[in-house]
Structure formats: C-alpha cells, structure tokens
C-alpha cells in the first residue's frame, strides 16, 4: 500500500506543473491571423511554431495565413481570429478608427519592405516621380506594403491616387506578376525581393531591410511585424498573452544566434520558393532587421503616426494616445525568463 501511495503521489507531482500551467492560461486555444506567413517579416512566428515554443508555454495555437496584413486584421475585427501577426502601424490606424488594438511583442526592428521597379516596363526610370500613372504591386491593398509605398510616393510629391495599387500576395504570385510585366513596380518583402533582384527582374528604389535606411526614410525607428490584439483580449487573458510573448521572445533570441543552415532546417520547404541559396541570402539580409528581444522602441509609435499622417490628413490632425498602442510589459517578463 505504501508503495502504491508513493507511485500515485509521484504521478500526481509530475502532472502538477502542467495542471497549474493549464489553469494559469485563460485561453490555451488561440487563433493568430497573419498576412504572408512565409515572409522573413514573420520569421519569429514560424520559428516559435516549428520549434514547439508555443506548445512549451501550454498553448494550442492555430495560425491562419492570408494574402496580406489588412486581411489578417479583418479576421480579428470580424471575430474569426484572436490575435494579428502584422504591421505595427495598424495599431495606430485602428485607434484612429475607434477600435483600439495593442501590440505586445515585436518581431521586426524595421519594416523590411522594399520598393522596387520593373526594369522591363520602366527601362528609363530615374526617380520615384516616374511612377505616376503606373501599376504598383502590394501584398494586399491597405497592408503595410501599401503604406510604405504611399509614404515613399508622398515624399516625391505623389498621392496614392496617382498610381494603381494591385494586390499580388507575398509568394510565387507576386514573382509571376513582376516577371510577366503585369506591374511596373512592387512593394514587397523577402524572400520575394531577393529572388526578383537576383534574376534581374527588380531594381531597388527604397530598402527598409537596412535599419539605418529605414530610419532615414521614416525619420525615426519604425517597428515592423508584431503581435497585436484588441485591448479587451489582453485584459481578459493576460497569462495567455504572456505565454505567446514568451514563445516569441524565445524565437527572437534563437534567430539572432542562428546560421543560415539552422533556418533552412526549421522553415517549411514551400518557403524556399524553389531556391535555397536565394532564401539564405534573403535571411542574411533580413536577420539584422529582426528584433533581438521583442521590445518596442519608445519613439516607434510617433514614427508610425507620422508615416500614416503623411498620406492621411485627417489622421495627421487626430489627437491619439500613442502610449496605448503598445506595451513592453510582457516582453520584459519574457526577457527575464529567456536571457
């Protein structure tokens, strides 16, 4: 009898940590909506998923992929997803629209978006002003790639209505649209950009994969991809949000230490777009633009606000509480856990 009690006690003790963990997490089944999961922009999300970091935190995560960030945001607004893995500036725009969202862990220290022209359809390109009347491919209308293109156009004196934006996605469809001449320029991300650049099908005009250039273009630190969600979700599920942040910060730190060979082993084969060498080049170009610790820069919201305001006069005049669009509270705890 004593031995049976000891065995039973040992089993109960072993199960206790998982039981406590499950009780602590208010919503273990979470759905994250993302626009272009194969992009380096969202590499921390993929790494956390593929290496089991979400499971380690007691989460049963479902990731739903959309053609662009604006569609991922629509999924959360519509209630079919809980959290967006998307561009930071959407949190500013959503507060302006009266639907407060808060970002809680950063994936990208820079947007990593590249604006480039099609050498075939624009062989005589000299400046951004030449894009007037042209077709520009973006991942999806209203997405961060669209916002970045708008911003660069505005600096050249062009309005969004001076060009035609076409949604081409963030994968093979975007590559095909450029190569076939359906679009004259493109605002997109890696690995699409590196693939087109190496084949001579794209000439870079503005490159925010380089943190210093991004800050020069936007006039300050411009946060890239992040996880964000409606404020009520954070209020109701703080332990769930902490668990997600822990997994993402752990992934951020793993990426900073990883070599190209490590990345190739982790990401799905479909991400490589049929060329491992180009994917490796894309990773090396993007690695420094990814966040090392999931923390948002203090001036990031101001930069995002100015970028959005440059193409939306009404937003530029709005009085927003930019401290409410992000929090570093969860990332601080995660960094203490994963040093």
Beta-bridged to residue 84, according to DSSP, are: 33, 228
Query: 6-15, 49-58, 72-81, 245-254: which range is least confident on average?
Result: 6-15
Percent over 70 (pLDDT), the chain = 93
For the ranges 145-159, 230-244, 272-286, the one whose mean pLDDT is highest: 230-244
pTM value surpassing 0.85: yes
* E strand or H helix at 206: strand 203-207
CATH class of 114-207: alpha beta
Q: What is the pLDDT of residue 37?
A: 94
Q: Position of tokens 């420094």?
A: 288
Q: What is the pLDDT of residue 4?
A: 41
Could you tell me which residues come within 8 angstroms of residue 50 by beta carbon, excluding any fewer than 6 positions away? 266, 267, 268
- Do the Cβ atoms of 142 and 312 come closer than 8 Å? no
Residue 18: pLDDT above 80?
no
Q: Position of tokens 């690695």?
A: 287
Q: Quick one: average pLDDT of 180-200?
A: 95
- Do the Cβ atoms of 35 and 41 come closer than 8 Å? no
6 CB neighbour count, 10 Å cutoff: 10
Average pLDDT, the chain: 92
Q: Quick one: average pLDDT of 61-89?
A: 95
What region, left, alpha or beta, does residue 145 occupy, with left being phi > 0 and alpha being psi -120 to 50 degrees?
Answer: alpha
| CATH of 2-111+223-337 among 3.40.190.10, 3.60.60.10, 3.60.10.10, 3.40.50.1000 | 3.40.190.10
CATH 3.40.190.10 domain residues, the chain: 2-111+223-337, 114-207
Residue 1: pLDDT above 50?
no
């Amino acid at each position: 009898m004593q031995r049976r009690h000891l065995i039973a006690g040992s089993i109960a003790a072993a199960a206790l940590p998982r039981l406590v963990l499950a009780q602590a997490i208010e919503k273990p089944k979470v759905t994250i909506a993302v626009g272009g999961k194969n992009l380096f922009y969202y590499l921390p999300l993929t790494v956390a998923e593929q290496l089991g970091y979400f499971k380690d935190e007691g989460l049963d995560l479902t990731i739903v992929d959309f053609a662009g960030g604006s569609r991922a945001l629509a999924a959360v607004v519509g209630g079919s997803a809980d959290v967006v893995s998307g561009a930071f500036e959407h949190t500013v725009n959503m507060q302006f629209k009266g639907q407060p969202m808060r970002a809680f862990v950063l994936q990208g220290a820079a947007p990593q978006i590249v604006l480039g022209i099609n050498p075939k359809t624009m062989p005589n390109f000299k400046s951004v002003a030449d894009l007037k009347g042209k077709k520009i491919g973006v991942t999806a209308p209203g997405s961060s790639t669209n916002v970045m293109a708008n911003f660069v156009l505005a600096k050249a004196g062009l309005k969004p209505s001076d060009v035609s934006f076409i949604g081409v996605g963030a994968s093979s469809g975007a590559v095909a649209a450029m190569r076939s001449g359906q679009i004259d320029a493109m605002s997109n991300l890696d690995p699409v950009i590196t693939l087109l650049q190496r084949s001579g099908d794209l000439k870079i005009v503005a490159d925010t994969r380089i943190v210093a250039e991004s800050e020069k273009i936007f006039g300050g630190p411009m946060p890239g991809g992040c996880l964000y969600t409606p404020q009520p979700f954070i209020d109701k599920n703080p332990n769930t949000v902490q668990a997600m942040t822990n997994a993402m910060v752990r992934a951020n730190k793993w990426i900073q230490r990883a070599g190209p060979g490590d990345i190739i082993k982790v990401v799905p084969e479909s991400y490589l777009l049929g060329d491992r060498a180009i994917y490796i080049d894309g990773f090396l170009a993007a690695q420094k633009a990814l966040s090392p610790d999931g923390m948002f820069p203090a001036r990031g919201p101001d930069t995002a606000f100015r970028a959005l305001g440059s193409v939306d006069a009404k937003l530029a005049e709005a009085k927003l509480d930019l401290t409410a669009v992000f929090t570093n509270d969860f990332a601080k705890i995660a960094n203490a856990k994963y040093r």
